[in-house]
Amino acid sequence: MDVRRLLAMPLACSAVLITTSCGTANPGSPTAPENPATSRSGAAPTSRLAPPLSQPELDTAPFEKDPCTLLRPEQVAQFGEHKPPESEEALTGPSCRWAPESSLKTGTPGIRLTVTINTKSGGLEGIYQRRDKFGHFQETVIARYPGVHALDWREAPANGDCDTLLGVGEGRLVDVSVSVRDKNHPDYATACKVSDRAAGMVIENLKGAK
């Protein structure tokens, strides 16, 4: 299953193994997840799994109309040369992608960056509630904001791919994904260090917008 589709999946479908359909919504359509602390049947609340947010919530609203402003051009340049950024409304929220220029043009391999304001996954708690669905799940902390590396494939971070998801507010995540396709790139085997670094820049910019 594509990790983006998994992130957008309602908690009622992804938190437990089931054998029937999860409703009649169109396949792949983002659906607001249930409150992870309760179930549809009204059962007793489940224990909270995600670490609490100890820092002030960050306001992502100023960036949602133009998510490409989540990283400044000089920050993107630290990850190589890139084509003009492209924004879109992804399954999980407003998103921006920076595709690397061809190595034939630059002479050096590039890194693809994607930053998303994730409003569809139930926040960091929603990710923790479905942690068993990920092949790779590892906690991280960036600028004192709790987060995780969450990917379908267990070996993805050692093979050029990583996804850093940071809890910045109730029900809201900053999702920074990187992809290093050239095996000769020095960061190919340490992709999560790259996504963590970019995520730190996004946090810095969100703080600066206050």
Distance CA 142, CA 140 (A): 7
Mean pLDDT of 96-117: 86
Q: pTM (2 decimals)?
A: 0.78
Q: State the amino acid at position 194 in one-letter form.
A: V
Residue 39 lies in a domain: no
User: How many Cβ atoms sit within 10 Å of the Cβ of residue 24?
Assistant: 5
Question: Looking at residue 16, what is its pLDDT?
Answer: 32
* 58/18: higher pLDDT: 58
According to DSSP, the residues that pair with 79 across neighbouring strands are none
Segments forming the whole domain that contains residue 195: 3-19+55-208
Residue 61 lies in a domain: yes
Tens-place pLDDT, residues 68-105: 999 999 999 999 999 999 999 999 999 999 999 876 67
Q: Is residue 123 part of a domain?
A: yes
Q: pLDDT tens-digit profile of 165-201?
A: 999 999 999 999 999 988 988 999 999 999 999 999 9
Among 12-16, 33-37, 118-122, 163-167, the least confident range: 12-16
Res 67 pLDDT > 50: yes
Instruction: Answer yes or no: is 46 within a domain.
Output: no
